[in-house]
């Protein structure tokens, strides 16, 4: 008989679930269906694991981490000089937040430049412009449109923070998962379960800075990482 180490319920076919030892969002491949029940997995996934995943997403995005399912989410960035908003997709690929429409007068003529993210979007923009310029021939202009890729001569800035109680509870859960998966005894980690569940028992969790001194919250990691 296998019990969920968090809530103690027996794990059977009705509540069995696959738990990633290391988060799927950071590329974790090691997993087990003999650790926690579906209810606990769902609660952690939408709470503490979600918090840590969100904090680590910029790193996973830039490294284009390969997951079991899904891809790293785009991150919001700002062009350094103009302050223009962009997104960076997996691997740091720039993505326009919105299309660009520039109108310039050239004598008696009006010159309009449209930069869109797809041909479909360009066509929608043209339809909108025709309300203002009824003489606009959409089909003729679409024939002139072309798809192209180019390197951007732009510098982007973004920032992110890692820390907080929820994130470190998720890290602690990772350590406990790994320990149990490799034959660790439950009575050796039962004092950590309240902290993983709701943040209680934080006196068992420390941050080690590599020196002789150890500091308390906000920089914490699980005691099992000491070594």
Contacts 24+ apart (CB under 8 A), 114-122: 119/145, 119/147
Confidence at residue 152, expressed as pLDDT on a 0 to 100 scale? 79
Q: What is the mean pLDDT of each run of 10 residues along the chain (227 residues)?
A: 94 96 93 96 95 93 88 88 88 88 82 89 92 90 86 83 89 94 91 91 68 48 43
pTM: 0.73
Q: What pLDDT, on the 0 to 100 scale, is given for residue 226?
A: 38
CA atoms within 13 A on the CB side of 191: 9
Q: How far apart are CA 93 and CA 150, in angstroms?
A: 11
pLDDT, position 36: 96
- Residues 44 and 65: their CA atoms lie apart, in Å, by 22
Domain spans in the chain, listed from the N-terminal domain onward:
19-72+161-225, 99-153
Selection from 152, 166, 141, 139 nearest residue 220 by Cα? 166
Which pLDDT value is given to residue 77?
92
Identify the three-state secondary structure at position 114: strand
d(CA 125, CA 102): 12
């Amino acid at each position: 008989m296998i019990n969920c180490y968090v809530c103690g319920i027996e794990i059977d076919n009705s509540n069995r679930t696959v738990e990633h030892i290391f988060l799927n969002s950071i590329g974790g491949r090691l997993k087990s269906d003999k650790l926690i029940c579906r209810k606990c997995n769902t609660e952690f996934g939408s709470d503490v694991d979600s918090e840590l995943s969100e904090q680590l997403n910029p790193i996973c995005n830039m490294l284009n981490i390969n997951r079991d399912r899904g891809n790293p989410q785009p991150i919001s960035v700002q062009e350094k000089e103009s302050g223009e908003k962009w997104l960076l997709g997996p691997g740091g690929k720039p993505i326009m937040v919105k299309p660009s429409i520039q109108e310039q007068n050239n004598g008696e003529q009006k010159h309009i430049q449209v930069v869109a993210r797809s041909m479909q979007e360009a066509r929608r923009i043209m339809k909108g412009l025709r309300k203002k310029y009824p003489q606009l021939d959409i089909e003729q202009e679409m024939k002139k449109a072309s798809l192209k890729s180019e390197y951007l001569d732009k510098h982007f800035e973004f920032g992110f923070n890692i820390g907080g109680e929820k994130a470190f509870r998720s890290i602690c859960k990772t350590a406990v998962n790994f320990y149990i998966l490799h034959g660790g005894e439950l009575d050796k980690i039962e004092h950590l379960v309240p902290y993983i569940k709701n943040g209680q028992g934080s006196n068992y969790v420390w941050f080690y800075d590599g020196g002789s001194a150890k500091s308390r919250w906000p920089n914490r990691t699980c005691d099992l990482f000491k070594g």
